[in-house]
């Protein structure tokens, strides 16, 4: 297009805008394709780290009074993609959601163009049916043949909140209309100390107060201790409080630990408590005949399950699901029957107007990218994908054990979360005691800083419980190969050996 063209030269403002529109969008697509190429190029950096003031100056983020030219917009797009962290790069090991699945990405491009809201079948017929098919398949994989209900939610935290709200609704259906007065006593919920912080958020948002989200101790592998759960349930019952909800984590955020589902389910049955399983991270392993046993056995006993395809399955962000064994509880809990949107006298089966069972109104289309990806890989493809990621985790653990003077493995992981300290040369000959652990904890953020300045690698770190800062490496990107694990170990050693 002409150098001085503006957005007013594009469709729909300009009737003759098709050629300029095509040219503008093809230039955007060129930027996207260059990005995809760079993300998959191991010689490219993961990031070009800049401090906020420097980044602000580089990006020219100010909003003008008069619109800029299309050419300037193309430059803006280019500089944006150049300066953000390449989360799809094989050396990005920082988050639970890593990678760039190209089929899922194609779905997201098309989703953006379709630009539809997911509240009714009336305006999103194809996508609503896709949701129905995919969510039903996921419930089947959980083990609830043909029963239940599900919804896509904006992230695992909101998925957990849906479970909490549904549990309270089942026990106190009057809460919806009468609020707090319908509950004569203090509700209490239970979750392991290692669980995701969003479980505590449910207590805060839901009116219990975080003091009544009781943290159950975990063992040294990060798994909830069922006898402690029972002790705490009884303690609260003896005080006259009302236990109603237990969150059991399948794949904790830091250690990737699995709480013992059967033992927790037995307690939920004994004390008539709602069992929610937060499998936001570990849910992908449901596909694996090799890794599901011993980790997710008993998941079918849950009342609700959170499972995020945007984590292990590599679906583009965001794609989070929550599933219910009872097919009516979600609707019963959340329906407001808004007359202007969810009329009951439409020409089609209004049970497909899924927007009336959620607490949002506008809902992004998160299904097309998952459906398309599932069509491409097949269920067997996801199984192979999960097994491959787990094998890479095992490879990393094996390599670290062989280099144990440089890498101190904190525990044998149940998933592909590898938790460790890097040990610089000067600490290698001293005994591993509290003093050395303290120094390793101080070194960890410094080494992370060096990684970010070098731009070659990203691995997350955090403290956890009594442990000071340590690295948590995640392998959830389909781009990662054994050579990338080898690179990670040698690059950390290069950056941190002193």
Residues 469/462, Cβ–Cβ less than 8 Å: yes
Smallest gap from residue 460 Cβ to ligand ABU (A): 6
Relative to beta strand 407-409, strand 320-324 is unpaired
> At closest approach, how far in Å is the CB of 197 from ligand ABU?
9
Determine the Cα–Cα distance for residues 48 and 61; give it in Å rounded to an integer: 18
State which residue, 353 or 366, has the beta carbon closest to ligand ABU: 366
Stretch that binds ligand ABU, among 46-54, 89-97, 284-292, 443-451 (CB under 6 A): 89-97
Q: Any contact of residue 160 with ligand ABU (CB under 6 A)?
A: no
Binding of ligand ABU by 156 (CB under 6 A): yes
Q: How far is the CB of 80 from ligand ABU (least distance, A)?
A: 22
Give the nearest distance from C-beta 96 to ligand ABU in angstroms. Answer: 4
Contact with ligand ABU (CB under 6 A) among 253, 288, 306, 318: 253
Smaller CB separation from ligand ABU, 148 or 156: 156
- Pick out residues in 460-489 that bind ligand ABU (CB under 6 A): 460
Burial label, 215 (beta-carbon count in 10 A; 0-12, 13-18, 19+):
middle
Binding segment for ligand ABU (CB under 6 A), chosen from 5-13, 91-99, 114-122, 443-451, is 91-99
Stretch that binds ligand ABU, among 92-100, 347-355, 379-387, 399-407 (CB under 6 A): 92-100
Query: For residues 230 and 208, is the Cβ–Cβ distance under 8 A?
Result: no
Tell me if 95 contacts ligand ABU by CB under 6 A.
Answer: yes
Residue whose CB is less far from ligand ABU, 354 or 476 = 476
SS3 481: coil
Q: Which is nearer to ligand ABU, 267 or 410 (CB)?
A: 410
313 vs 477: CA distance, rounded Å? 9
Cβ atoms within 10 Å, residue 77: 16
* Tokens describing residue 480: 């990662």
Window of 22-30, 40-48, 90-98, 326-334 that interacts with ligand ABU by CB under 6 A: 90-98
Of residues 139 and 472, the one with the C-beta less far from ligand ABU: 472
Contact by Cβ (8 Å): 464, 375: no
Nearer to ligand ABU, 93 or 119 (CB): 93
Q: Which stretch binds ligand ABU (CB under 6 A): 93-101, 168-176, 216-224, 292-300?
A: 93-101
293 Cβ contact list (under 8 Å, min separation 6): none
Locate 292 and state its tokens: 């599901």
Residue 468 in contact with residue 441, Cβ under 8 Å?
yes
Extract the tokens encoding 327: 């097919």
How many residues bind ligand ABU, per CB under 6 A? 6
Residue nearest to ligand ABU according to CB distances in the complex = 95
Q: Are 495 and 451 a contacting pair, CB within 8 Å?
A: yes
Residue 487: strand, helix, or coil = helix
The H or E element spanning position 243 is: strand 242-249
CB 489 within 8 A of CB 400: yes
Looking at the Cβ atoms of 333 and 416, the one nearer to ligand ABU is 416
* Distance from C-alpha of 94 to C-alpha of 204, rounded to nearest angstrom: 28
Binding site for ligand ABU (CB under 6 A): 95-97, 156, 253, 460
């Amino acid at each position: 297009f002409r150098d001085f063209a503006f957005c007013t030269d594009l469709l729909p403002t300009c009737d003759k805008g098709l050629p300029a529109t095509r040219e503008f969008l093809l230039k955007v697509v060129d930027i996207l394709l260059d990005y995809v190429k760079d993300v998959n190029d191991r010689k490219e950096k993961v990031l070009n780290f800049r401090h906020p003031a420097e980044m602000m100056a580089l990006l020219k983020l100010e909003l003008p009074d008069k619109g800029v030219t299309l050419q300037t917009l193309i430059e803006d797009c280019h500089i944006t993609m150049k300066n953000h962290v390449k989360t799809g790069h094989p050396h990005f090991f920082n988050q639970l959601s890593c990678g760039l699945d190209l089929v899922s990405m194609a779905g997201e491009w098309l989703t953006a163009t379709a630009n539809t809201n997911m509240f009714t079948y009336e305006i999103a017929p194809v996508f609503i049916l896709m949701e129905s098919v995919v969510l039903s398949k996921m419930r089947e994989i959980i083990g609830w043949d043909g029963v239940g209900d599900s919804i896509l939610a904006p992230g695992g935290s909101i998925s957990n909140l849906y479970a909490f709200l549904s549990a309270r609704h089942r026990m106190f259906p009057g809460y919806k209309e009468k609020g707090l007065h319908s509950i004569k006593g203090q509700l209490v919920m239970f979750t392991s100390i290692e669980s995701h912080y969003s479980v505590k958020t449910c207590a805060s948002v839901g009116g219990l107060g975080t003091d009544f989200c009781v943290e159950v101790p975990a063992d040294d592998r990060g798994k909830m201790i069922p006898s402690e759960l029972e002790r705490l349930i009884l303690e609260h019952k003896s005080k006259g409080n009302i236990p109603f909800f237990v969150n059991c984590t399948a794949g904790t955020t830091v250690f990737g630990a699995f709480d013992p589902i059967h033992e927790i389910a037995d307690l939920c049955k004994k004390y008539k408590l709602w069992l929610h399983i937060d499998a936001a991270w570990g849910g992908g392993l449901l596909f694996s005949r090799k890794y599901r046993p011993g980790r997710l056995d008993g998941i079918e006993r849950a009342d609700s399950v959170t499972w995020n395809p945007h984590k292990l399955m590599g679906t583009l962000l965001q794609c989070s699901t929550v599933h219910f064994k009872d097919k009516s509880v979600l609707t019963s809990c959340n329906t407001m029957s808004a007359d202007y949107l969810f009329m009951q006298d439409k020409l089609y089966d209004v049970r497909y107007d899924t927007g009336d069972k959620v607490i949002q109104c506008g809902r992004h289309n998160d299904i097309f990218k998952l459906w398309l990806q599932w069509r491409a890989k097949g269920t067997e493809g996801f199984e192979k994908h999960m097994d491959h990621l787990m094998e890479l985790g095992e490879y990393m653990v094996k390599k670290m054990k062989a280099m144990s003077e440089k890498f101190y493995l904190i525990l044998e992981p149940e998933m592909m979360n590898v938790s460790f300290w890097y040990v610089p040369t000067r600490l290698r000959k001293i005994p591993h005691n509290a003093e050395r652990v303290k120094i390793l904890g101080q070194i960890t953020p410094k080494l992370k800083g060096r990684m970010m300045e070098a731009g070659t690698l990203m691995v997350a770190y955090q403290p956890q419980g009594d442990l000071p800062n340590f690295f948590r490496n995640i392998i959830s990107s389909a781009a990662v190969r054994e050579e990338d694990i080898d690179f990670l170990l040698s690059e950390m050693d290069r950056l941190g050996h002193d």
